[in-house]
Amino acid sequence: MPAALPQDDFAALVRRAGLDLSAAEIEELYKAWEHVEPMLARVRAGGRPREAEPALIFQPESF
Amino acid sequence: MGIATLADASRQIASRAISPVELATLCLERIAALDDRLNSFITVTPERALADAKAAEQRQTTGALLGPLDGIPIGHKDIYGTAGIATTAHSKLLQNWVPDTDATTVRRLREAGTVMLGKLATHEFAFGGPSFDLPWPPARNPWDPDHFTSGSSSGTGAAVAAGLVLGGTGSDTGGSVRGPAALCGIAGIKPTYGLCSRAGILPLSFSLDHAGPLAWTVEDCAMLLQAMAGHDPLDPASADGEVPNYTAGLGDGVRGLRVGIVRRWHERDRAVSPAVQQGIDRAAEVWREAGAVMRDVEMPSLFDYQAANFVIMTSEAFSLHEPWMRERFHDYGERLRSRMVFGGLFAATDYVQAQRFRRELCHATSEASRDLDLLLTAGAPGEAPRIDSVPKWDGLQQPGFAAPMNQTGWPAMCVPVGFGERGLPVAVQIIAKPFQEPLLFRAAHVIEGALSERSRRPALAC
């Protein structure tokens, strides 16, 4: 399935990351973005309880 | 002398049937004869190896051997820092970097008396590969050098399978120990997160990186892990617990152990070859006949673990490499830079959501395994593909079987269970609960004894 994110918006993400890539490089990465979007959708899926913590926790006694 | 297992060599050194210098010399001769076809070494260190071996030989002759690893020739993945010896990460960016200190695990193996033969090939920074645009070529599979080793501990997998070293170190962030073990037909363990120090090993992804050994047999892995494991204050995630004896119960069998087969992963989420399916079935049958209680277990989808692993790994990796990614993008190999770039495109909330998702997955895994001791899965989908046919976006397009245990931090190891249609090895993955490595080794030892054909080496290596 083609990526939902428009290619111009994808290019903006690349620039925001501070990467100076050629148009051809962006084009190729954009084609792979279609495989990344489904993974992001799983990660971003709603429904987690507000109190659901990340796997990493802060332990003040460890410092 | 033929190619020994690490454990055999240890016994021969102890009985003075062979000297460490003879053993190191044999390995160096094999490297000289074979490695131009395998590319498993980045740096061979013959002077260091012979110095280590002579010191071990001195201890052998005076009855002062340091332990079972004294005089054993090994190699280190080239992301393990080695004092005074180049540590390149197989990358142009660190081509001339020479650390001042050993990684903690390197030091521990040195203090156990091992003989260091050199530094082993890796996928660039343990992430990109196979790559043909780096200062060194990619490692090749000894069972057929036209085929892939998997990665990223590619050189260790190739060198162990070819008998160039008797064991070596690897790291595993999404399967980088278990993949090469599976495709090269050897044993490899990703121990529990926190068991082996990461200090001095070039990081890829802080919360997913695991250090672990690869070797020809399960027993060999257990012996190496014995020296590598243990608390290290230099690693903030290091577990502060007692290290059990990993070889003492190796022959205790699996009677009464409860094993869950995760069919969903290889029957619905990622298809496997007939040989892998047969290997899973045979492994289950071997355990059942040995007294284990087998049942199916339902786990979250492989795609869920893959998603969390990818977002966390690339985000953490990009944060480490950000300055170079911005300023020296084209000094990276094309495969690494193309994969890592995605980590710079995610929002901070994506990373946090991935870590929240990870906690859910860990909880679900634990709940599903509540009344189980072990899990059985495929090690890899099939035999090694040709090295020139590995898709660039392989890790994005399809999930692997390794990432779930990088998410949970549970110990997992791959062991061979036979050969596929093309004559290359296939493997299963065995998983235990945190810090249950002794159980993992016991169970893997049973499979190995029944199915692994440890007397059969790659033709190139014979």
Quick check: A56 contacting B, CB < 8 Å?
yes
For residue B144, is pLDDT > 90?
A: yes
Question: Which pLDDT score is estimated for B2?
Answer: 66
The closest CB to that of A56, out of B207, B311, B350, belongs to B207
pLDDT of amino acid B116: 98
Which of B306, B326, B356 is nearest residue A54 as measured by Cβ atoms? B356
Across the range B393-408, mean pLDDT stands at 95
Taking CB atoms and an 8 Å cut-off, how many pairs form between chains A and B? 90
Closest by CA to B122, choosing from B321, B336, B415, is B336
Q: Are the beta carbons of B310 and A39 separated by less than 8 Å? A: yes
Nearest to B166 by CA among B14, B379, B20: B20
Q: What whole-number distance in Å separates Cα of residue B200 and Cα of residue B234? A: 9
Average pLDDT for runs of 10 along chain A of length 63: 95 98 97 97 92 93 84
* Choice between B291 and B454, residue whose per-residue pLDDT is larger: B291
CB B138 within 8 A of CB B121: yes
A11 contact residues in B (CB cutoff 8 A): none
- Minimum Cα–Cα distance from B354: chain A residue: A43
* Closest by CA position to B71, among listed B2, B19, B130: B19
| Residue B405 parent element (H or E) | helix B403-408
CA distances from B30 to B2, B26, B165, B217 (A): 11, 6, 9, 20
With a pLDDT cut of 70, the percent of chain B lying above it is: 99
Q: Is B356 helix (H, G, I), strand (E, B) or coil?
A: helix
For the segment B197-222, what is each residue's pLDDT rounded down to a tens digit? Answer: 999 999 999 999 999 999 999 999 99
Q: Which residue of A has its CA nearest to B348?
A: A44
User: Which pLDDT tens digit goes with each residue over B36-52?
Assistant: 999 999 999 999 999 99
> From CA B52, how far away is CA B56, in angstroms rounded?
6
ipTM: 0.98
Per-residue exposure over B11-50, b if at least 16 CB sit within 10 Å of its own CB, e if not: ebbeeeebbbbbbbbbbbebbeebbeebbbbbbbbeebbb
* B158-195 confidence digits (pLDDT tens): 999 999 999 999 999 999 999 999 999 999 999 999 99
CA-wise closest residue to B226 among B74, B438, B14: B438
Which secondary-structure segment (H or E) carries B222?
A: helix B218-228
Q: For chain B, give the mean pLDDT.
A: 97
CATH architecture designation of domain B6-301+356-461: Alpha-Beta Complex (3.90)
The Cβ of residue B223 has, within 10 Å, a number of other Cβ atoms equal to: 26
Q: Average of pLDDT values for B396-415?
A: 97
Q: What is the DSSP string of B240-278?
A: -SPPPPSSTTTTS--TT-EEEE-HHIIIIIS---HHHHH
Active site residues of B: 77, 152, 176
Is some CB atom of chain B closer than 8 A to the CB atom of A42? yes
Q: Is residue B349 predicted with pLDDT exceeding 90? A: yes
Amino acid at B206: F
Mean pLDDT across B72-101: 98
From CA B165, how far away is CA B142, in angstroms rounded? 13
Spans of all domains in chain B: 6-301+356-461
A15 touches B: beta carbon within 8 Å? no
C-alpha B16/C-alpha B322 separation (Å) is: 52
- SS3 percent helix, strand, coil of chain B, rounded to 5, is 40, 15, 40
pLDDT at B1 over 70: no
Using CB atoms within 10 Å of the CB of residue B155, give its burial: 0 to 12 exposed, 13 to 18 middle, 19+ buried: buried
Q: What is the pLDDT of residues B414-423, one digit of tens each?
A: 999 999 999 9
Reported as a single tens digit per residue, the pLDDT across B221-237 is 999 999 999 999 999 99
